[in-house]
Structure 1
Amino acid sequence: MKKGAVLFLASFVALGISAQDNFDLLSRQATAALKSNPAEAAKLYRQAVALRPEWAEGWFYFGASLYQTGAYSESQGAFQRASQLAADNGSVWAFLGLCEYQMGSYPQSLRDIQKGEEIGLGDNKQFISAIRNHAALIYIRQAQFAAAMSQLQPLAAMGDDSAFTLQTIGRSVLGWKNAAPELSVRQKPLAEAAGRAWWAFWAGREDAALLFEKLVSSYPDQPRVHYLYGLYLEDSHPDAALREFEKEIRIQPSNIPARLQASALEMKASAPEKAVEIAQDAVRLGPSNAYCYVALGRAYLSANQSAKAASVLRTAVRLAPQDRLTHLYLAQAYVKLGKTADAEREQDVYKRLKTTQAPVLF
């Protein structure tokens, strides 16, 4: 034991103060300081967990106070200890993930956040928002924008329209994979405008249409802006949506999702030849993208070109064997070709995958 620690304990013995009394005093003082003075709280929790090393709650709040001071490495250690003592506490794992995020350990951060989410994060909305936003930012770094949006959508239902949440939604829907951790002064207004429009769409707000109109009028030449507006319009105003997708393609010719959506709308408009042409362009742009072949296969089906449909859909199945709808479309092509056994095989795969996989989000 260090000399200072011996003197510390000896002083309390001399005063007749028990370790239990000292622990109770420290824990009360630490709790009182947690919100107003995290550095002082960390100092007090450090002493308290030294007296009671098995105190899981103390390790948690020790980590939380350290996190607030920016001492992420030491905070990580505290949360690791808390996770050993309270492995069934989702908030512990999620907070550990936040520390790992701040230290740049993104894969481990996401694993621990996901573990926390699986166990449960409690009902603190501010904490839930922080966890979901940081998980989304990791997905955005990996260009997994649909996964990022699945993290963010519940925040709209929760009523969270903080600037951080809106900007993270904006990053996701705009496809800003390489954005720095902190957006620039120039980037923030666009990210927030796109995020607010999409947030309103998710929340079912009446002002969503006005927000999208303002977005496209303010940023008419910005990539993905017309694509987002098209997605918003496609169920209620498919003709207008198609025009937005066409504008997007002119602004950003490499935008594959805009072509896929445009091809689908041309099919709905009974223009299969146009659908085929657009989907063929998508395949040329994304020769390893399964969903380009899915779009082309569906377009061929709508144009009654079943043999071509089956050929490209087999390629789609090879590229994305776990996508259930691809098997369904291939089964439809086989039915039209009279290949009953092949159709039944693909239908069986579709049924097997149906209950285990959600539809793909573009």
Structure 2
Amino acid sequence: MKRLTLGLTFLALFAACDAVAQTKSASPGRAAGTTNASSFDALVKKADAARAADQTDEAMRLYKQVVRMRPGFAEGWWYLGMLYYEADQYPDGRAAFRHLTGLKPEMALGWAMLGLCEFEIKDFDSALAHLEKADQLKIPSEQGFYDVSKYHFALLLIRSGRFESAVKIIGDFARQGKDSQQFAEAMGLAALRKPLLPNELPPLEREMVLDVGHAMCDSAARRAAGAERDRLELLRKYPTAPQIHYISGTMVLANDSDKALEEWNAELAISPEHPQALVSIAAEYLKRGEYQRALPYAERAVEASPNYFAAHAILGQVLAEGDLDVPRGTHELETAVWLAPWQPQVHFALGTAYAKAGRKTDAAKEREEFLRLRGQSEVAVSKP
């Protein structure tokens, strides 16, 4: 899928451009009253008129003249890049948005469009880096545009194995009632921990991915009746499939933690080294203050998946919070932060461990980073 119904999206973006670019009045030659400035103004007006009249080729030709005449005119690069994107000319669009981000590095929209162009030419690593940069700068929530950028960001997080972050993004959409089949498919890929883009999914796996995705979206949106019906249907259709009992446990955790433990242990009967089930069981016992019961599950999680940040995080919390071995617990939490520096809760847990060890300066730094990352994650999915 290339876009999420972008028909009106870019009209809104064009309208928003003046507010975000803020370059017309700031361009040095435009206020000088010189002949060159008048010629430049006239050329920009012609380009704007061609764009407004949907004369795409003519608008491209004129905007290329605009940016040749004044390479520092960010608004020209913006419109040129948008025209290239809409015309499916992604390499040229990427070049235009590279110019724009060089001129306006604080402009989230520029980084987002650069990432979307790179997504279309399958430069996925660069696309992830630039969509993440846009996310950090807080993408404006104009109708449709935010959705497109965040959706593609979630797809790239899934592809890179950052499933928890992708689930959070898609869950936020579900809570806004935005859980179309495209979102459900992405949620299913993330929940089943398949590092694939939707078009890479084998056809025989699609039904289960969609079933899981719809169930997880219902759960995230707190549609209790639908979520329970979905959960039971998953267990009926896929009783021995890996990951299904784990997902079932996560869906009932908020209302029935004993049932969640039962489901996670059922997952371990199918997949004895399932790291997420091990982490979840350890986390539930940690929440109950049963540190000795939590410890073996946390240890097994690290053994099963030594590069999984959550395994090190839960082991560190059990050891530190339970006063079982604070120095080792701190080291495990440091490993978790190293593996997943983008996870705010891991920084908070490490800060707590540092405070317990009397490392006040380090604790303050980790809590500051926690607040910074949490602030990024609390950007609204759409305007209220």
TM-score (norm 1): 0.73
Q: CA deviation at 1:354?
A: 2.7
Q: Return closer, same or farther for 1:127/1:182 CA change in 2, 3 Å cut-off.
A: farther
Aligned to 1:313: 329
Aligned to 1:344: 358
Contact 1:296 1:312 in 2 (8 A): no
What is the Cα-based RMSD across aligned positions, in Å?
A: 3.7
Aligned mates of 1:56, 1:348 — CA distance in 2? 42
Contact 1:248 1:255 in 2 (8 A): yes
Give the one of 105, 109, 115 matched to 1:97. Answer: 115
Aligned to 1:232: 251
Provide, for residues 124-177 of structure 1, a one-character-per-residue CA deviation record: whole Å limited to 9, x for no partner.
332212211221222222211222234333322433222222211221111112
Aligned to 2:272: 253
Equivalent residue runs for 1:313-332 within 5 Å: 313=329, 315-317=331-333, 319-320=335-336, 323-326=347-350, 328=352
Q: Return closer, same or farther for 1:139/1:288 CA change in 2, 3 Å cut-off.
A: closer
Aligned to 2:60: 46
- Structure 2: runs of 5+ lacking an equivalent: 1-38, 339-346, 375-384
Aligned to 1:170: 188
State the AA in 2 paired with 1:140: I
Aligned mates of 2:317, 2:46 — CA distance in 1? 70
Aligned mates of 1:203, 1:250 — CA distance in 2? 30
Q: CA deviation at 1:353?
A: 2.1
State the AA in 2 paired with 1:246: N
State the AA in 2 paired with 1:28: A
Q: CA deviation at 1:244?
A: 0.8
Q: Return closer, same or farther for 1:239/1:88 CA change in 2, 3 Å cut-off.
A: closer
* DSSP 3-state at the match of 1:253: coil
State the AA in 2 paired with 1:344: G
Q: CA deviation at 1:285?
A: 1.9
Aligned to 1:356: 369
Q: Return closer, same or farther for 1:297/1:162 CA change in 2, 3 Å cut-off.
A: closer
Rg larger for: 1
* DSSP 3-state at the match of 1:344: coil
2:183 is equivalent to residue 160 of structure 1: no
Q: CA deviation at 1:297?
A: 6.4
Q: Return closer, same or farther for 1:320/1:81 CA change in 2, 3 Å cut-off.
A: closer
Aligned mates of 1:90, 1:321 — CA distance in 2? 26
* DSSP 3-state at the match of 2:358: helix
Q: CA deviation at 1:95?
A: 0.8
Aligned residues: 323
Q: CA deviation at 1:233?
A: 1.3
Q: CA deviation at 1:245?
A: 0.3
Aligned mates of 2:304, 2:265 — CA distance in 1? 16
* DSSP 3-state at the match of 2:203: coil
Q: Return closer, same or farther for 1:77/1:237 CA change in 2, 3 Å cut-off.
A: same
Give the one of 132, 142, 146 matched to 1:128. Answer: 146
Q: Which moved more, 1:285-294 or 1:60-69?
A: 285-294
Aligned to 1:15: none
Contact 1:294 1:312 in 2 (8 A): no
Give the one of 25, 30, 47 matched to 2:51. Answer: 30
Q: Return closer, same or farther for 1:117/1:349 CA change in 2, 3 Å cut-off.
A: closer
Aligned to 1:71: 89
TM-score (norm 2): 0.69
2:263 is equivalent to residue 244 of structure 1: yes
Give the one of 183, 208, 218 matched to 1:200. Answer: 218
Aligned mates of 1:124, 1:182 — CA distance in 2? 30
* DSSP 3-state at the match of 2:370: coil
Equivalent residue runs for 1:10-21 within 5 Å: none
Aligned to 2:165: 147
Contact 2:40 2:66 in 1 (8 A): no
Contact 1:143 1:177 in 2 (8 A): yes
Q: What percentage of aligned pairs have identical amino acids? A: 22
Q: CA deviation at 1:357?
A: 1.9
Q: Return closer, same or farther for 1:94/1:107 CA change in 2, 3 Å cut-off.
A: same
State the AA in 1 paired with 2:62: A
Provide, for residues 179-232 of structure 1, a one-character-per-residue CA deviation record: whole Å limited to 9, x for no partner.
564433323322222222222222222322222222332222222221122112
Aligned mates of 1:119, 1:279 — CA distance in 2? 35
Aligned mates of 2:193, 2:138 — CA distance in 1? 29
Aligned to 1:211: 230
State the AA in 2 paired with 1:72: Y
Aligned mates of 1:193, 1:214 — CA distance in 2? 9
Q: Return closer, same or farther for 1:30/1:244 CA change in 2, 3 Å cut-off.
A: same
Q: CA deviation at 1:236?
A: 1.2
- Structure 1: runs of 5+ lacking an equivalent: 1-17, 34-39, 333-342
Aligned to 1:223: 242
Q: Return closer, same or farther for 1:158/1:219 CA change in 2, 3 Å cut-off.
A: same
